[in-house]
Structures are given as C-alpha cells and as structure tokens.
Amino acid sequence: MGTSSLFANDSVNDLNELCRDLHAALLLAESYHPKPIRGDAEGELRFWTAVTNVYGLFYDCMPYVFRTHHVFMRQNYNNQTQTLLNIMEQEHALSRRNRQVIEQYFRALTELRSIYCHNKPPRTIIKPKLDKVFGPFFCEPYHHQVSSDVFNFNAAYTHFEVVTQNVIVQLESGVKALILLGGERIISEWQKALIGWYLQSDDLRNRSVHHLRSIHGQIKYPWDINEKIEESFNKSGMTVNDLFDELVDYVDSSAVQIHSQEIWELIISDILS
C-alpha cells in the first residue's frame, strides 16, 4: 500500500483490486477516504492528519484484519469468524512474529490517536504501549504540562511514517501471499471474516442505510428502519446462522466486489420482505 496511504487511497484501491485475483468479490479495505493535506504542510497538522488517517484505514475500513465479529442484532451466531491475520499465520503467509508486530502497532496506534481525538488526562496515557512500537524517542505530544511547540512534530512524523511503512509492507506481503496460495479455504475464511464485520458494525449499517436512502428514497429506507429491521428479524424465524450462510453464499457467487451497502441491501430485503 505504501506510505502514500497516509494521505491518499490510490495504493489501497490498487491492493483491493489485486484481491480480486483470489476471488472477484473480495477486497481488503472498505471505502478508505483519507483526509488530504497540502504538500507543504508540516508540523502538527501533517502529523495528526497522518495518525487520524491511518487509524481510519485500520479501524474503520478493515478491522476484521485483527478483530473477530460474530454478533448480529445483539445475537451471537455459531459460525465463528477468524481474523485475517490469523488466517495469514495459519497459511504461513505471515510469521507469528510479524503478526505480533502488526497487532502491537494497532494497539499503539489506538493509544496515540486517543491523545489527540479524546479527552486523555496525562496519567491515563499508557506510555509502555507507545514505547514498545515507537520507541522511547516517541514521547507523548500534548502532555498538558508541556507546550506543544516543545515537541518536534516533524521528527515525530518521519518516525511515525517509517514505523507505519514497515507494518504496511508486512501486511501487504501477507495479503499477496494469501492471493498466491489461493484455495477454497482461504477464500471462504476471508469471505466469512468480511461478512462478520459487515453484519456486526453499527457504523457500516448506518452508513449503508444512508447510502441506500440517498439512492432509493426515504419511503423504502425510512428513518426508523433500524428498529424495523430488528423487530422483523425477531419475528421472522430466521436464525443468525441462516442469514450468515446466505450472505456468504451470495458473496461467493458474486462476480463483482462486495461492499457493505450491497450486503445491507440484501439483508434489509430479506428481513423486511
């Protein structure tokens, strides 16, 4: 994906397209739209925009890579999903050590982003989590007692870019290795991981409904549709496992990449019909 992923989605989109070599419906990241930045922007703006964008890439666009999902409408289902990292390790597309490095990066990224995007009292900053990934050089910016102009944001950005690039290269290598390995099991587990995330994520559901409403109108997708979905699902007699299996079959038979709005259009059609 390259460090251009910090401010643009071209390389992510290219990797998404490469995933179709394994199966036409597969993708890695769902709808990544990073905040752009001027080429001459430096300091705090460049640093925090990069941190925010990369967090959005991993946690908003591809959390199934490192998190499992097995809940729909507050119901657990039996078809347990695996993380994509777990699939990579099982298939020897990624070493255990590299998997650990990537997972540690995700945890440190959460901590770093929370300093800027949340109310983070100084004593609640988990410095060992940051130090493990970014090293002792990477002291906490905005530590309240210290003026932000004391922190070297340009040096911090350079360091963040290097560490992030290393993680991206390892992750991209694992994806390409899965594509080369191929096989029904890899395809099936990847599809299940995606569907599990699509089903469980409230953000994806709301975003998909808004997208569908903008195309088909409020009559078909009313503002209280979330309540209607849950009520109708509970009355339908359909189990979560039934729905999950149907969606996996749908993705497996698709000749086009499957995004969350297509899945939610199918879910809503099934449940409300």
Domain range enclosing 267? 185-272
Same domain, yes or no, for 190 and 165? no
**What is the pTM for the complete model shown?**
0.92
As a whole number of angstroms, the longest Cα–Cα distance in the chain is: 61
Same domain, yes or no, for 220 and 109? no
Same domain, yes or no, for 170 and 107? yes
Computed over every residue of the chain, the mean pLDDT equals 91
Burial of 199-222, coded b for 16+ CB within 10 Å and e otherwise, reads bbbeebbebbbebbbeeeeeeebe
At 225 the pLDDT is 94
HSE toward the beta carbon, residue 88, CA cutoff 13 A: 25
User: Domain total for the chain?
Assistant: 2
Which of 160, 182, 204 is the C-terminal boundary of a domain? 182
Which of 167, 182, 197 is the C-terminal boundary of a domain? 182
- DSSP code, position 58: I
Residue 21: count of CB within 10 angstroms of its CB? 12
Residue 243 sits at φ, ψ, to 5 deg, of: -65, -45
Same domain, yes or no, for 93 and 137? yes
Residue 213, token pair as written in the block: 């409403």
Amino acid in the structure at residue 14: D
At 149 the pLDDT is 60
Same domain, yes or no, for 146 and 33? yes
Which of 159, 182, 205 is the C-terminal boundary of a domain? 182
Residue 30, token pair as written in the block: 């769902």
Same domain, yes or no, for 138 and 189? no
At 185 the pLDDT is 97
pLDDT digits (tens, 9 = 90+) for 83-137: 999 999 999 999 999 999 999 999 999 999 998 899 888 788 888 899 999 987 6
CA distances from 189 to 79, 90, 244, 271 (A): 11, 11, 13, 25
Same domain, yes or no, for 88 and 151? yes
Same domain, yes or no, for 41 and 142? yes
Do 194 and 204 form a contact (C-beta atoms < 8 A)? no
